Amino acid sequence: MPVRIQTEDFDVGAEIAALRQGNPAIGAIASFIGLVRDANEGEPVSEMTLEHYPGMTEKALERIVDDAKSRWDIIDVMVVHRIGTLRPCDQIVLVIVSGAHRGEAFAACEFVMDYLKTQAPFWKKERTPAGSRWVDARSSDDVAAERWAR
């Protein structure tokens, strides 16, 4: 399974080792880690809760991974996304891409994140001193995903 959704934290080193499995064809690994920030839109954020659509979220992520594999000459992809309540500095999401060369791995990693942001059904609610609020989708995320349209 190239995709995992979980409440627990993840160990980046262990995930990379699992993806590599000593495969000598791998010459490059690109990874992205998304973290909870302590502020958003000018307000301090003390906590964030992530909701998802069980079943659809996994399917959407698997499709994004398949899409990345069809677009670039890469070897493997792993996506781990957390749900539940998280605090500033916590890890939210991990994307790892392995390939023979860095160019394809970097591009595929960025593509997976851009599509995840706009296609995978997750929703964030954050707690601020003024109360809890749902995070609004950003148009800049749509723009980032549209770069890859073809």
Partner 1 sequence: MDNSDLAQGLAAAPVQAGAITILYFARLKEALGLGSERLPLPPSVATIGALREFLRARGGAWEVELAQAKPVRVAVNQEMVPPHTRLNPGDEVAFFPPVTGG
Could you tell me the smallest distance in angstroms from the CB atom of residue 73 to partner 1?
Answer: 25
Could you tell me the smallest distance in angstroms from the CB atom of residue 21 to partner 1?
Answer: 26
Could you tell me the smallest distance in angstroms from the CB atom of residue 59 to partner 1?
Answer: 6
| Secondary element (H or E) of residue 14 | helix 12-20
Q: Is the Cα dihedral 20, 6, 117, 2 positive or negative?
A: positive
102 contacts: CB under 8 Å, gap ≥ 6: 27, 28, 30
| DSSP secondary structure letter of residue 149 | -
Residue 58, SS3? helix
One of 81, 86, 98, 110 touching partner 1 (CB under 8 A) = 81
Provide the CB-side half-sphere exposure for 139 (13 A, CA): 0
Number of residues that bind partner 1 (CB under 8 A): 26
C-beta closer to partner 1: residue 105 or 117? 117
Binding part of the chain for partner 1, among 8-16, 18-26, 64-72, 120-128 by CB under 8 A, reads: 120-128
Binding site for partner 1 (CB under 8 A): 34, 50-53, 55-56, 59, 81, 92-93, 113, 116-125, 134-137
